[in-house]
Amino acid sequence: MLDVTSGRFQLTDIIESMNDQLLQSEIHNPQSAIKDYRLFIDGSYVDASGGNTFEDVSPVTGRVIARVAEANADDVDRAVAAAKRARHGAWGKMGVNARLDLLARVADRIMERFDEFLEAEIGDTGKPVSWAKAIDIPRGAANFKLFANLVRNVPNESYQTDTEDGLGALNYAIRVPLGVVGVICPWNLPLLLMTWKVAPALACGNTVVVKPSEETPGTATLLGEVMNEVGIPPGVYNVVHGFGPGSAGEALTKHPDVAAITFTGETRTGSAIMKTVADGVKPVSFELGGKNPAIIFADADFDAAVAGVARSTFANCGQVCLCSERLYVERPIFDRFVEALAERAKKLRMGDPFQQSTTMGPLISKGHREKVLSYYQLAREEGATIVTGGGIPKLGDPFDGGSFVEPTILTGLPESARVIKEEIFGPVCHVQPFDSEDEALAMANDTEYGLCSALWTQNLSRAHRLAAQIDVGITWVNSWFLRDLRTPFGGTGISGIGREGGIHSVNFYSELRNVCVKL
């Protein structure tokens, strides 16, 4: 599944036996203790200075599972000040190898405390244990391992320059950290996406203030304990909980001592953040929304394509920015493909995420379910055929208090329909037939988004040709979400700004400065 040294990471269906008994109790026992998630500032857990808290609600049952301290601007200021001290103090003065050794220990410690991270992540998101075990938690560790290894081996750029006296000059570039980096995260892959940014930021010598999603405060909070356990100096990693506008998120983006903002989330949030940071001319790295196409040719390995597209549409309840929401299927296999995909959708099992047999979790919240259901309704109004799904499943107590929706397949809409144009971020796709490669390409590119695409064909010449013409940052051929963490990751158009992954992350989280020495 995972080779942390090379950065290869393959999504597989690894399911091992685990202690279902212990973990299930939280779901079925309404009296389970409500957790307290506090802020993590300067190496200590603290309450918000204003005393405000908000509720963390299980999307599986609708019950409150934690009370979360809501940071105000003063708390953000304390966190940034601690990060600034650490940047110039213990962290800044530590040798690079010592720093990277500590980060590698963070990875080991996440794996040692695997079940606690698993429980916190599933508690917040309701994602099936099979997925969280195979993807979220190991990737949280892998991100630290990869960037600890990578930064150790980053080469230096240098030039010998001729001068008139014949003695020459030596130019060499050094990399310096940016300073305090603000990390603003979404709720869909909380630990994975947070560490994807925190690990390279710290490896490059920065310190961070993280604003996790208000929906998923758990694993970011737990990571504070790990940082302390392995001896990361206080102030290097800080967590401020809260919301966006008027709360911790906005305060972080406005703070004058934050040197850069790295953000994953919705496109319109990215746009709001960009306006806020414009005054400070701060660098931003944005991983934003998508409306990703999958193109399935008649020559594809049919069963592999159906299985792959079922995964790329319904994985994590469709809440992965890389999910395929627009499917284009070559006409000779269109009917058979839709039928086979619908069969797969009907077999998805919703319910207790801690059961190995559960294959689809809920949406993150009731609010998000309202949004997804409004698109199901819009699809009806726009004239779609609902092949399967389209509503709320009946799962019984306690799951009817959660945010489950049926996996849904639509056909019959014109390409101009809003359902085909706008990101829904749920377990839903529209399937459109096509007759030629050019037609499929034109429809795939007819969007403002440009995150990723998936091509299913056995004609590799065609795959290479199309991959170069689809306006996206990442194309998978006969696969999906097969990650090598060294590769450039990011979107074109309104799907993002910049690339992260491997050296591209190092380029964002450090600044190159040139030194010219006259010899």
By the criterion CB under 6 A, which residues form the site for ligand 6OD? 188-189, 193, 196, 287, 320-322, 483, 489
Cα–Cα dist 502/60, whole Å: 35
For ligand 6OD, the closer of residues 358 and 505 by Cβ is 505
For ligand 6OD, the closer of residues 130 and 432 by Cβ is 130
- Is 72 a binding residue for ligand NAD by CB under 6 A? The answer is no
What does 288 interact with, of ligand 6OD, ligand NAD, none (CB < 5 to 8 A by kind)? ligand NAD
Task: Tell me the per-residue interface mask from 354 to 383 with ligand NAD, x by CB under 6 A, - otherwise.
Answer: ------------------------------
Give least dist CB 404 to ligand 6OD, A. Answer: 20
Burial environment of residue 95 by CB neighbours within 10 A (0 to 12, 13 to 18, 19 or more):
exposed
* Candidate list 26, 250, 352, 406; residue touching ligand NAD; CB under 6 A: 250
For ligand NAD, the closer of residues 95 and 245 by Cβ is 245
Q: Which of 321, 323, 429, 452 is catalytic?
A: 321
- Is 342 a binding residue for ligand NAD by CB under 6 A? The answer is no
> At 222, which amino acid appears?
L
- Is 451 a binding residue for ligand NAD by CB under 6 A? The answer is yes
Cα atoms in the Cβ-side hemisphere of radius 13 Å centred on 311: 15
Cα–Cα dist 185/188, whole Å: 9
Q: From start to end of 106-228, where are the E strands?
A: 158-161, 169-177, 180-184, 207-211
Q: Taking CB under 6 A as the criterion, which residues in 494-513 touch ligand NAD?
A: 496
3-class DSSP state of 67: strand
Q: From start to end of 101-221, where are the E strands?
A: 158-161, 169-177, 180-184, 207-211
Cα–Cα dist 139/110, whole Å: 10
- Is 299 a binding residue for ligand NAD by CB under 6 A? The answer is no
For ligand 6OD, the closer of residues 297 and 449 by Cβ is 449
Give least dist CB 123 to ligand 6OD, A. Answer: 19
Please give the full DSSP string across 442-453, using - where no structure is assigned: HHHH-SS--SEE
Cα atoms in the Cβ-side hemisphere of radius 13 Å centred on 282: 28
Give least dist CB 70 to ligand NAD, A. Answer: 11
Q: In this chain, which stretch among 42-50, 118-126, 288-296, 479-487 interacts with ligand NAD, using CB under 6 A? A: 288-296
Among all residues, whose Cβ is closest to ligand NAD? Answer: 244
* Phi, psi values for residue 185, rounded to 5°: -120, 155
> At 459, which amino acid appears?
N
What does 272 interact with, of ligand NAD, ligand 6OD, none (CB < 5 to 8 A by kind)? ligand NAD
> At 300, which amino acid appears?
A
Cα–Cα dist 235/71, whole Å: 16
For ligand NAD, the closer of residues 148 and 451 by Cβ is 451
Q: Which residue has the tokens 């990751």?
A: 489
Please give the full DSSP string across 340-390, using - where no structure is assigned: HHHHHHHH--BS-TTSTT--B---S-HHHHHHHHHHHHHHHHTT-EEEE--
DSSP state letter for 489: B
Q: From start to end of 72-130, where are the E strands?
A: none
Q: Which of 121, 287, 382, 423 is catalytic?
A: 287
* Candidate list 45, 114, 172, 243; residue touching ligand NAD; CB under 6 A: 243
For ligand NAD, the closer of residues 186 and 233 by Cβ is 186
* Catalytic-residue membership of 185: no
For ligand 6OD, the closer of residues 188 and 457 by Cβ is 188
- Chain centroid to Cα 372, Å, comes to 19
What does 425 interact with, of ligand 6OD, ligand NAD, none (CB < 5 to 8 A by kind)? ligand NAD
- Is 312 a binding residue for ligand NAD by CB under 6 A? The answer is no
Q: In this chain, which stretch among 15-23, 226-234, 245-253, 327-335 interacts with ligand NAD, using CB under 6 A? A: 245-253
Longest dimension (CA), the chain: 85
Q: Taking CB under 6 A as the criterion, which residues in 155-214 touch ligand NAD?
A: 184-188, 193, 211, 213-214
Among all residues, whose Cβ is closest to ligand 6OD? Answer: 321
| DSSP strand pairing (408-411 vs 496-497) | unpaired
Task: Report yes or no: 59 and 66 within 8 Å, Cβ to Cβ.
Answer: no
Q: Which residue has the tokens 């309450």?
A: 47
Cα–Cα dist 498/158, whole Å: 25
Task: Tell me the per-residue interface mask from 419 to 438 with ligand NAD, x by CB under 6 A, - otherwise.
Answer: ----x-x-------------
Please report, as ranges, the residues that interact with ligand NAD according to CB under 6 A.
Answer: 184-188, 193, 211, 213-214, 243-245, 249-250, 253, 264-266, 269, 272-273, 287-290, 321, 423, 425, 451, 491, 496
Q: Which residues are marked as active site? A: 287, 321
